Amino acid sequence: MKIKKGLQKLRTDFHPMFWVANGMELFERLAYYGQAAVLSIFLRDHLQFDEFQAGKLSSIFGGLIYFLPIFAGALADKYGFRKSFTFAFFILAIGYFLIGATGMPPFSDLIAKEHLFWTLVAILIFTAIGGSFIKPAVLGTVSKTTTPQSKSLGYAIYYMLVNIGGAIGPAIAFLVRDNIGISYVYLVSAFSCALMFFSTLIFYKEPGGAEDAPGGLLSEKISNLFYVLTNFRFMIFLLIFSLYWIMFWQIFIIIPYFIRDFISADAPFELVESTGAWSIIFLQVLVNRLTAKLSPITAISIGFALSAITWLIIFTNPTLWVIVPALVIFAIGEMTQAPRYYEYIANLAPKGQIGLFQGYAFLPIAMGWVFGGTFGGYIYKTFAKEANNPDVIWLILAGVGALAAVLMLMYNKMVAHEKTASATSRK
């Protein structure tokens, strides 16, 4: 009876397009995290770039795919989420195929080695442009298809489904790499996005009523885009949050390098990378309920602190038997703060600017990739490869996490002080 009531509640609290959009996001994340799990190794061991060059390429792709949603969000508000999904999946399918083609004969034979870096830069930028439309469209759909009472749970469900893709994607990547070849991981990602292109055309309908219909002057959308930059407090919040993502992306940069170089070249590093995603699948709803009464900023600060502790645990004994449970703790920190983060951003968004604000929500992720890819490649090459002292890396990452937690607590006090001053002035 309870199960039946629970299913009935899911049907009444969430619009059908909520499930369609999240289903497509699951397959997009499967494609993204499948290729992300092997990207650093694909660039270094297969295409023969060094860690610093591979880090720069990772920064370009990861940075843009999360930075461009700021602009894509404004366009999604103007032209609608259905067109955004259609465009995104079409470009992603082509882009992932081209990335994989650079490592597959006879395609790779068409590209001179001295031109390979810049060829990949062009392909990665092209792919990122398509991928940048996904997040504003998905999160905008979630916001429009949930009630105030179900919004928090809606974002938790979204985040859980994202991590199902984040868990299955690397597992498929491992099987494909181990049995066919690392380049073919990108063909699987391309196929997944092509499938979602047709799914959008068949199943997705623009959500919301007439008041939520896409439209408005594009010049107004662009003006709003830059207006958000004048929100000084909001921008500080996003900059602090970017420190967390610098830590996060090292799971896909430093962790696979370390496993291959210092533990075992045959270890399934993709499965290790997916530890956090599997943890979130099984624990997200529980953690969401346990932390529901925390304010968003408090939940975020706690999440940062747990993530910083992760690197100190790895420092004590950097083996697979320690890295895996440490990444579970990192995931607990992530699932404590991530849904509340999106909730915090959604509550700030005025009517008609949901896609815009959700686009800005990915600025910290973009900055984490822009700096994290190059930063991770640099410190790994410097301390692990050249100095043969990888222990320093874990301490550096723990320091980044501690700084993020302290700054977020300071931000929380600043916000509380502003609210108190505002309430006093109204009296």
What confidence tens digit (pLDDT) does each residue in 387-423 have? 999 999 999 999 999 999 899 888 878 765 555 444 4
Domain with 392 in it: 8-206+215-426
The burial class, CB within 10 Å (0-12 / 13-18 / 19+), for 191 is: middle
Do the domain assignments include residue 1? no
Do the domain assignments include residue 267? yes
Structural domains in the chain (count): 1
Instruction: Tell me how far apart the alpha carbons of residues 226 and 239 are, in angstroms, rounded to a whole number.
Output: 16
Do the domain assignments include residue 171? yes
- Going from the C-alpha of 150 to that of each of 15, 101, 211, 264, the distances in angstroms are 11, 44, 21, 46
Instruction: Tell me how far apart the alpha carbons of residues 157 and 155 are, in angstroms, rounded to a whole number.
Output: 5
Do the domain assignments include residue 3? no
CATH number of the domain bearing residue 411 = 1.20.1250.20
Q: Is 352 left (phi over 0), alpha (psi -120 to 50) or beta?
A: left
pLDDT of residue 127: 96
pLDDT of residue 13: 66
Please answer whether residues 333 and 305 qualify as being in contact, where contact means their C-beta atoms are separated by less than 8 angstroms: yes
pLDDT of residue 423: 43
Do the domain assignments include residue 2? no
User: pLDDT tens track of the chain, all 427 residues?
Assistant: 555 555 555 566 678 889 999 999 999 999 999 999 999 999 999 999 999 999 999 999 988 988 888 778 778 877 889 999 999 999 999 999 999 999 988 787 777 778 899 999 999 999 999 998 998 889 888 888 887 777 777 877 887 888 899 999 999 999 999 999 999 999 999 999 999 999 999 999 988 654 555 555 556 656 666 767 777 777 888 899 999 999 999 999 999 999 999 999 889 999 999 999 899 888 877 888 888 788 777 888 889 999 999 999 999 999 999 999 999 999 999 988 887 787 777 666 666 666 666 667 778 888 898 899 999 999 999 999 999 999 999 999 999 999 998 998 888 787 655 554 444 445 4
Please answer whether residues 52 and 374 qualify as being in contact, where contact means their C-beta atoms are separated by less than 8 angstroms: yes
The token pair at 277 is 């995603």
DSSP three-state, residue 14: strand
Instruction: Tell me how far apart the alpha carbons of residues 335 and 160 are, in angstroms, rounded to a whole number.
Output: 9
- Of the candidates 346, 362, 132, the one whose C-alpha atom is nearest the C-alpha of residue 238 is 362
Q: Which residues contact 409 (CB under 8 A, 6 or more apart)?
A: 301
Give the model confidence (pLDDT) of 54-75 as tens digits.
Answer: 999 999 998 898 888 877 877 8
The token pair at 108 is 């790779």
Do the domain assignments include residue 172? yes
